[in-house]
Each structure stands twice: as C-alpha cells, then as structure tokens.
Structure 1
Amino acid sequence: MPAALLRPRGPLAQTNLISTLLLSLCLHTGPVTGGIMKADEIQNGGGDTISHSLALVQRLEALLAQGNGSDVALRVQTVGAEQVKVIQAHSLMLSLQSPVFEELLLSRNGTTLVLLETAECAAVFDKFIRLVLKLPSSLDFVLNCKHTHTHRYLYCGEISLCLEQATYLHKLATKYRVQGLQQGVTQYMTQNLATNSPSGHVVEWYQYALQTGDVALRDSCLQYLSWNLSSVLQSGEWTTVSNDLLMTLLQRSDLILQSEMELFAALEAWINQNEPDALTAENALRAVRYAMMPPRELFRLQTQSPVLARYQESVRDLLYQSYQFHSASPLHMAKYFDVNCSLFMPRNYLSPAWGSPWVINNPMRDDRSTSFQTQLGPSGHDANKRVTWNALFSPRWLPLSMRPMYSEQGSTQPTRVDGGRLRIIITPATSSADFAGVSFQKTVVVMARKQGKMVVRHVYNFHQSTEETGDFLVDADLHRKMSEYLVDGSLHLHIVVKPLYQTLIATKK
C-alpha cells in the first residue's frame, strides 16, 4: 500500500495532509502564472496583491489527476453489477465540500470508502467527485453543455454538463449535500428547458423535481410547459406526461396554446396512448373547457371522437351547459348560472379571434401603435360581434408615482420622459352597450429566442395598462442589441384579450 495512504487520523492527520497538499502544489512543475491587481482595484486598499488563483486551480486539478497526496480511495459500486470504479481522493477536500463525506470519513475503517450508487450515478461519479474536490466557496463555477473536456468540479469548480447527465449529478450533489453544485445544476436545468433533445427532458425534470422536493426547478418546469404548451403538445414528450401532471396542466387558466380544440386533440392522443383507468380519463375530459369551443366543433366532437363517445356520459352535463352558453345571451344566462367558473373562462389562446401578434422594431426609439379586432366573447351569441382595440407601446412613459398632482383646472396628461418606464396601453376604439356584463383581461406574451427556438419569455396580465403590473419588462434592457428579450433587434409580443362574463343578478332557478 502506498505510504500516502497510511496516515494517522485526527488533528495531526489534517495538519500532515495540508502540508502534503501544499508541498505537492509547490513541487508541481511549470511556471506560476497569474496577475497583479492594482491598488485601486482592491476595495480595502493596502497596496497591490498578487493573484495566482487560476494557476492554483490548475494545480489542484493536476493533483487530483495524478493522485499525489491521496489519503482515501473511493470505491464506487453498483448493486448487481461487477464493475467497480476506484477514485483516489483527499479527505480534507472532501470534508470541506460535503458534510456527508465528512461523516463517512470520520467513521470509516481503513483507507477505502465504499459507496453504493445507481448505475446512472456511478457513470458520472468521477465527474462529480472531481467537481466537489475543487468547488469554491461561492457559486463561481461554470456549467457548459459540451461533450469535450470533462472538467473536475470539486477541485476546480468547473464541469462540462450534458442534458442526460444533469439529474444524476443533481442526485449526487443532493445525496452528499454539496449545496453549491446542487444549486448550480438546478440553475443549469432551469436555463436549458428550451434546449432541443431527442425525446424531451422537461417532463422528466419536472417529475424528478417533484420527487426530490426541488421547488424552484419544479415551478420552472411547470411554467415552461404551461407557457409553451403548443410546442409540447406536438412533441413526443407529451405522451410521457404523468396522470398528476396532466391534471395540473388541464386545470390552469394561464396555458398558452392555439385553442381549446388543440388541447382536446392532444388529450385524446394522450388517452389513446396511455390507456388510463376510467376515473383518470373522466377527470381529464371534465377539465376541458367545452364552452370555449364553437357549437360546430362541439357537434363534430360528439359525432366523430371515439374517446368522447366512450366517456360521453361523464361529460354530458358539461356539453349541455356549453350549448346553453352558446345559445342564450350571456347577460341573461348570468342571472341563473355561475359564469365565473372555469368552464366559461378562456385560457391564453393565440388564435386570431382572441388577439394579435405584434413585432416592434427598435423598441426604444419611438412610441408605436397598432390596432386589431377580437370576438366580443366566447359565447356563440357574441360570435359575430367584434371589438376593435388600439394598442400603444411607449418606451419612456412617466410612472404614475412621478406624475404631476391634480389641479383645480384639471389634470396634466402623462408625458414621455427620458428614464421613464416601458408601457403598453390597450383600449377599445369605441364603447358599446354590448360590453355590459363583460370585463376584458389583457395578456401580453413576450417571446424570445432561446437555444435556437422561439419560446415564451414572460407573461403580463392587466386590464388596461401594463403599468398595473409594475414590472413590465423591467429587466429587459432593450437598449442593448444583445438583450435576451430582442430577436434580431425586435421585440416580439402577442396580445391576448380574454373576455370574462360576470354574474350580475342571482335568481332562484
């Protein structure tokens, strides 16, 4: 057995190991390269400082690769597999980065630590351990999605990461409580939700986050799926959605998709592919908002959909209410029924009847305006009624809190000023008695190019002006040509108008 592995334990052992590591670093061949920081770059003053941090990181990596000063052998095994991976490491570095490793090292017998891992985690364990042994105290490390140059995270704080490795590295970081790496991989996964992969990965990451209790990752995945549902429905990933995730999505009103018909078609495909039990299928079909479909589409579904024919009894009441909704005046129907329930509430539909796309070139230059039409409401009674909307985009609008106070002669109109906020105002071109009993929620969907494809970057809901949200594109920094919110210098928006009927009078049936 090498002499480096035969070391006493306790404070003396740690002192000896530190000395060995320092000696190994000093004896490492190659010139010491670094830089000298000027005195005015040092916050606390006191003269110049010499920075050789990069050289030190490189030497730590070489120390790991060569096994110099190693005092522990990590034996990584998988149950039921003969293959064993042995990694020479340094107990001091492991203990500094992982409290779990610290406990294991204190209770070990001998110089070998046996670790049982799944086959997938064992496959990336050497990458994980090399990351842990060079992990800095802060989150100042790099996660790159590359297949080349496998960096060692624990020693040097860098790693090349691929989509298929993310969950297994996250599992190891969670198991051994390497918090910096755990947060870093979560950040990597959040930033790569839009990355193309052969079979998709967002649904898998959502299920993993749900199992491990990673709330931030779970919410990021759920938001991505909700905001980009049309593309998800058209991918092979859709059929892998679990029963619980399916119901979670179907119950949301913030789904962004072309129409409710698109959602029903995807649900029908999911049921045919997964063959769920009757209760699951019935609950899913009852979450469809049939009232948001025109009567002609409802008739077609009832006569042509095998899934609806099979479960029609479970949704008969919803179909009946939907036909009532389309045949009667919403104002009259609201006297007898609750029209504020989800059945009568639109989602964020991108079809022309509900709004319009808006591409704003050079958004920080001038005020811009556009006009578009929407259907007055989803009810068939309002199918032929149109509302014309005027939309104004201003890059420098004086916030409400900074406007002049009202005077006896009247109020001063808000003005555009340098340093003001971005703002969109959406108002009807004319007023009408048909608006009675209807409120209009406006939604601005902000698109951006990420990982080579267009995805939803942000969603803002308001009634008349984005000033109601208080944070409209506050972090967009549209002055920069390379802003993540711009696509070839343009701001890509989609305005959605959601008419919501209100219950005006409650009467006994």
Structure 2
Amino acid sequence: MVKPSPIHGVLFLMEVAAAGLLKADVSPPDGGDTISHPLTLVQRLEALLLQANGSDVTLRVETPNADEVKVIQAHSLVLSLQSPVFQEMLRSRNSSTVVLGESSDCAAVFDKFIRYLYCGEISLRLDQATPLHKLATKYQVLSLQRGITHYMTQNLARDSPSGQVAGWYEYALQVGDITLRDSCLQFLAWNLSSVLQSGEWISISSELLMTLLGRSDLVLHSEVELFTALEAWIVQNEPDSLTAENALRAVRYAMMPPRELFRLQTQSTVLARYQESVRDLLYMSFQFHSASPLQMAKYFDVNCSLFVPRNYLSSVWGSQWIINNPTRDDRSTSFQTQLGPSSHDASRRVTWNALFSPRWLPLSMRPMYTETGAMQPTRVDGGRPRIIITPATSSADFAGVNFQKTVLVMAQQQGRLVVKHVYNFHQSTEENGDFLSDANLYRRTSEYLVDGSLFLHVVVKPLYQSLITTKN
C-alpha cells in the first residue's frame, strides 16, 4: 500500500469544500462574516488533475479489443473518497498502475467521469448520458448516477437524429433504474403519436412494443394510426411469427370504423399474411359495429381491452382547449363527441360543457359554519385549478354507457409541446386532488404556459358498462 503524501490532506479539504460539505451560506458560530471562494477550489482541483501534481496512481483504461487505451494520472484519496469501488480496488492493489476494462462508449467518456470526481460537475451530450450513467453505476458514484438520471428524464423531449427515449428505456430496464424506466415509458405512451412519426419507432424492441400496445393510456390520433405504424415495424424488423401475431392481436380493431376495417383487410399485406391469427378479433369487431352493444352483450362475453378506447386525439372523441391567461377568470367551452365507438352509435352525438376555474377551493379549504349558522372565518391565500365536464343533454340517453373524461396537459420542453400530465376523472378533476398542483401558472416562465396560454386536450372515453366490468 502506497503511503499518502502531505498533499492528500489538502486534497481532502478541497474535496469536502467542492462537494458542498463546507456551506458558504452558513455564518460562523462567532457571528462573523464568511469569505467563500468555491469556484477557486474547483479550478485548483481541476488543475491538480490536469497537471497530475502529486499523483500516486495511474489508471489505464482499456477497451475489450485493446484498440483504445487511455492513461490518467490520478490521486488515490480523491478516487477513494468518491467511490467505494475505487476505495476497495486501491486498497488491495500491488502496483501504482490500475488496469480498468471498459466498453468503447464508456472509455470515450472516462475522462469526463474522473473530472466529476475532482470537480463535482460535468458537461455532457445526449449520446454520452448512457455511458456516463454506466460508469456512475459501476463505481457506485451515487450523486452522479442520480444527476444523470435527472438529466435524462428532463431531456426526453429533446430532438436527436435517431431518438433516445427507447434506448434509455431499454438501458434503465437492464440496470434496474426504476425512475428512468417509468419516466421513459410514460413519455413514450403519452406522446406516442409523435414517436410513431420518428425514426425511433422502427428500432424499438419487441418487448417494448408489446408493453406499449397493452396500455389504454396511449395518446395518438386513432387506432388506425397505431396499426399503420405496427405494420411498418413488422415489415422492417421481420419478427418471428409468434411476436407478429401477438402484436397484431393487441390492436383494438373494434375502435376502428367498419370502412377502415374493410380497407385494412383488402390493402394490408401484413394483415393478409397473419389474418388467420386475428380473424376472431375482426369478426367480433364487425359484430360490435353491426348490433346494439346491449344486444350483443346478451350473447357474447366481450369483457376485454378490445372494446376499451385509448386516448384518441381525433375530433370524434374530444377537443383541444387553449386557455388564454389561465390565472384570471373562469373559462368555459363546449364540444361534441360520438356517443360510443360502435357504429350503432355513430350518428348519435353528445354535447359537453366544460368549465375551467383557476381558483377553486377544495372542501378542506372552504369556509366553515358554526351551529348558529355564522360563517367560521377561514384564511385562504388562493384556490387550485379545476375542470368540470358535464353533458348538455339528459343522461337518460346514455343507457349502458359510462364516460371517463381525460384531460391531457401539455408543457413546453426543449422547444417542443409534449404531454406532461394525463388526468382521468368522471365529472371533475376534483376527484384527482392533484390537478395542476405543480404547474404554478402564475409564473411567466412556467413550462405549462406557451405565450401565456395553457394548452389542454379533453378526451371523452365511452365505456359500455354491460360489456366492460374491469378497469383497463
């Protein structure tokens, strides 16, 4: 074991300060003033690394084929302080040189990784996030690991030539990063319509494909749009028959109008090839469109996802709602939707009235009354936003149909308008309790505001209660 040199004591103080353990904003116990130069310390630490002053360990980074070698002069105290893996490795070494085997992508960013250990900061591009996360995970540098996970979740919407969200999802699944995995999957589901148009769609794995196809919260224009994209994926990837059949069986054909079903049967080469595997679904879908859903339910058990709508952006199922200056007054709008997805209900329309209130008070914050009827004073600084959606016609016309309302809330991220939140309710967002709770619409720079306006999309999802008995 190499004995530490005097410079290690200086390094320790610098590292503690750079890590923020010596707080610059905390006054000394004697009540005096504080002089703080944290940037100077970071600059000195960086210089220490670049100039290799007092270095006592050499890191030799090799790729599997030994086609690339990086040599970094470092300091064992800094490495040990930041990484328990390095600490154990350096404790048991018998040479001043430590050989590290890394993949090519990790070797390419290893100097950035080491610089973070010295300076506590890092600059990176989208394509460097995964290898840096790998290094942070391998060497158990938890602060960097969490920081890169946060970076990735905040940059899901950023444009790149081939897309990055699907790749990040696969990586998160591999390393068990639940936060990143769930964030990527949610982004893909809630922004699927734009994902289908990107180069990223064709390259997704069959496992991710099946995960997405099974979800009812997919946001896209229509089920036809999803089938068209699936067809392109099958043609491009040529999966085995079982994978293709399972994917095609996850399409909700009953949500397509009969004219589209006829067109697909006559024009789709993929459907022609696998028609036997989905024949029963097409048959049930045509029956669904030809008879009253209540009548059909008397003879067939059709409680399955085939008859559950997704979050379709088509005007048949909802309407965009742009609310200008959403912090001022109540706003209202009206729109129409088809009574149900069955063609039996194609000519029947439901008119909906929607009310947006920026300062609604929840029950727990409303004024209380005493036994004598006098109002109990209650101090309230402000209410929360809420949306109420009610039908303009009698509910007697909706026999057997229950409506789930969904509000898609958009946000501006990386210059793009993306779906940030999806709220499901039956009449009012009061049922959620957290509707726009973190939006802070009073802040001009809020990501939820585009030129001072709130961008929403209201979707009405009709569910035939005699058919659907379980939530999907």
Give the TM-score taking structure 2 as reference length: 0.92
Report SS of the residue matched to 1:370.
strand
Q: 1:400 aligns with which of 346, 360, 363?
A: 363
- 2:13 and 2:69 map into 1 onto residues whose CA distance is 31
Q: 1:75 aligns with which of 41, 57, 60?
A: 60
Match of 1:134 in 2: none
Match of 1:254 in 2: 217
Deviation, structure 1 residue 435: 0.5
Q: 1:379 aligns with which of 342, 357, 362?
A: 342
Q: Is the contact between residue 335 and residue 503 of structure 1 (CA under 8 Å) also seen in structure 2?
A: no
- 2:413 and 2:466 map into 1 onto residues whose CA distance is 42
Match of 1:470 in 2: 433
Q: 2:459 aligns with which of 488, 492, 496?
A: 496
Match of 1:197 in 2: 160
Match of 2:390 in 1: 427
Report SS of the residue matched to 2:278.
helix
Q: 2:243 aligns with which of 256, 280, 285?
A: 280
Deviation, structure 1 residue 164: 0.7
Match of 2:35 in 1: 50
- 1:498 and 1:44 map into 2 onto residues whose CA distance is 62
Corresponding residue pairs, total: 457
- 1:170 and 1:505 map into 2 onto residues whose CA distance is 43
- 2:101 counterpart of 1:116: yes
Q: 2:114 aligns with which of 129, 136, 143?
A: 129
**Mapping 1:118-197, distance limit 5 Å:** 118-131=103-116, 154-197=117-160
Report SS of the residue matched to 2:140.
coil
Post-superposition CA distance 1:118-153 (Å, at most 9, x none): 11111111111111xxxxxxxxxxxxxxxxxxxxxx
Q: Which amino acid aligns with 1:16?
A: P
Report SS of the residue matched to 1:158.
coil
Deviation, structure 1 residue 84: 1.7
Q: 1:99 aligns with which of 57, 65, 84?
A: 84
Deviation, structure 1 residue 454: 1.1
Q: Is the contact between residue 425 and residue 464 of structure 1 (CA under 8 Å) also seen in structure 2?
A: yes
The alpha-carbon distance between structure 1 residues 418 and 386, as it changes in their structure 2 partners (threshold 3 A), is: farther
- 1:459 and 1:344 map into 2 onto residues whose CA distance is 21
Q: Is the contact between residue 324 and residue 454 of structure 2 (CA under 8 Å) also seen in structure 1?
A: yes
Q: Which amino acid aligns with 1:196?
A: D
Which piece of structure 1 moves more, 371-380 or 447-456? 447-456
Match of 2:414 in 1: 451
Q: 1:332 aligns with which of 279, 291, 295?
A: 295
The alpha-carbon distance between structure 1 residues 342 and 53, as it changes in their structure 2 partners (threshold 3 A), is: same
Q: 1:365 aligns with which of 315, 324, 328?
A: 328
Q: 1:354 aligns with which of 304, 314, 317?
A: 317
Post-superposition CA distance 1:11-65 (Å, at most 9, x none): xx3463424648999xxxxxxxxxx978xx6396732222122211111111111
Give the TM-score taking structure 1 as reference length: 0.85
- 1:505 and 1:452 map into 2 onto residues whose CA distance is 40
Deviation, structure 1 residue 478: 0.4
Q: Is the contact between residue 24 and residue 69 of structure 1 (CA under 8 Å) also seen in structure 2?
A: no
Q: Which runs of 5+ in 1 are unaligned?
A: 1-7, 26-35, 132-153
The alpha-carbon distance between structure 1 residues 375 and 53, as it changes in their structure 2 partners (threshold 3 A), is: same
Deviation, structure 1 residue 395: 0.4
Report SS of the residue matched to 2:53.
coil
Deviation, structure 1 residue 333: 2.0
Q: Is the contact between residue 20 and residue 69 of structure 1 (CA under 8 Å) also seen in structure 2?
A: no
Higher relative contact order (CA 8 A, sep 6+): 2
- 2:208 and 2:434 map into 1 onto residues whose CA distance is 29
The alpha-carbon distance between structure 1 residues 405 and 438, as it changes in their structure 2 partners (threshold 3 A), is: farther
Deviation, structure 1 residue 505: 12
The alpha-carbon distance between structure 1 residues 452 and 22, as it changes in their structure 2 partners (threshold 3 A), is: closer
Which piece of structure 1 moves more, 285-294 or 299-308? 299-308
Match of 2:6 in 1: 16
Q: Is the contact between residue 28 and residue 34 of structure 2 (CA under 8 Å) also seen in structure 1?
A: no
Q: Percent identity?
A: 76
**Mapping 1:247-326, distance limit 5 Å:** 247-326=210-289
Which piece of structure 1 moves more, 330-339 or 433-442? 330-339
Q: Is the contact between residue 395 and residue 421 of structure 1 (CA under 8 Å) also seen in structure 2?
A: yes
The alpha-carbon distance between structure 1 residues 108 and 462, as it changes in their structure 2 partners (threshold 3 A), is: same
Q: Which structure 1 residue ranges, 4+ long, deviate > 6 Å from structure 2?
A: 22-25, 405-408
Deviation, structure 1 residue 504: 7.4
Q: Over aligned residue pairs, what C-alpha RMSD do you find?
A: 2.5
Match of 1:31 in 2: none
The alpha-carbon distance between structure 1 residues 425 and 67, as it changes in their structure 2 partners (threshold 3 A), is: same
The alpha-carbon distance between structure 1 residues 429 and 97, as it changes in their structure 2 partners (threshold 3 A), is: same
- 1:71 and 1:286 map into 2 onto residues whose CA distance is 62
Deviation, structure 1 residue 263: 0.3
- 2:405 counterpart of 1:442: yes
